[in-house]
Amino acid sequence: MEANVYRMDRKHRGHCVVVNNHKFTSMSDRPGTDKDAEHLRHVFEWLGFSVHVYDNVTKGHLDKVLQEYKCHPGHSDGDCFVFCVLTHGKFGAVYSSDGTLVPIQEITSHFTAQQCPGLAHKPKLFFIQACQGEEIQPPVFVEADAVNPERVSPSLKDSIPDEADFLLGLATVPGYVSFRHVEKGSWYIQSLCNHLKSLVPRNEDILSILTAVNNDVSQQADRQGTKKQMPQPAFTLRKKLVFPVPQEKL
């Protein structure tokens, strides 16, 4: 194995956690999100992960989930860790199902080398499907994942710990909404899953895959005319992250 590529040959590929918030106590539902959760489960299981989906997660439940995976004994035998959040959001933060605004940094900080030694020197990937800013009126069937947005532009890097081996994939650049089809799922997650399916078998690394997702989602946005959505990754990866090609077809 090349020294500049993350190891992917341990006993387990790792855990993939999906927080899927469809219903909220004080915000609108997010129809279409179950399609995203289902697609993520399908693709990450295909990539060899143990996938755990949690629906309509309150702040208290989120804290428990974070604590559980921070201390998970399985990390020591795993190659990688993935955490996906499907919910409403504002810049740099996501909403729990009971309406608490949780900074993305609060989520990622549980998995630093100090907090979670089992994941030290291993890639930690976070994918966030949520708006990061201002609500606009979308056409029928397409909704914006935004709530009470404010125009602010701190650095996206502030959302990931100041240490190596993190990747944060956001559905949209700061200050903008992200879109979700009420039947087909969100533009970003569907594109991410489709590109993992098509490009992992070609041995593409994760940053090349996310670049292709950027291109795809920005073109979808342009086809909508007035709608704009541009995903954005932030990362401190030190090596290439290439998933082994799964033996079975999806």
**Which of the 8 DSSP states describes residue 53?**
E
Structure tokens at 94: 């996501």
Q: Write out the catalytic residue numbers.
A: 88, 131
How many CA atoms within 13 Å lie on the side-chain side of 4?
2
* Rounded Cα gap, residues 56 and 116, in angstroms: 25
Residue in the structure block whose two tokens are 């900074």: 103
Q: Is 46 helix (H, G, I), strand (E, B) or coil?
A: helix
H-run or E-run covering 229: none
Q: Which residues on adjacent β-strands are paired with residue 146?
A: 89
Pairing state between β 179-181 and 185-186: antiparallel
* Rounded Cα gap, residues 130 and 92, in angstroms: 10
Residues in contact with 236: Cβ distance below 8 Å, sequence separation at least 6, in sequence order: 160, 161, 162, 163, 164, 165, 166, 167
Q: Is 17 helix (H, G, I), strand (E, B) or coil?
A: strand
* Runs of H (alpha helix) within 49-186: 59-70, 104-108
Beta strands in 63-221 (DSSP E): 78-86, 89-90, 93-95, 101-103, 124-129, 142-144, 166-170, 179-181, 185-186
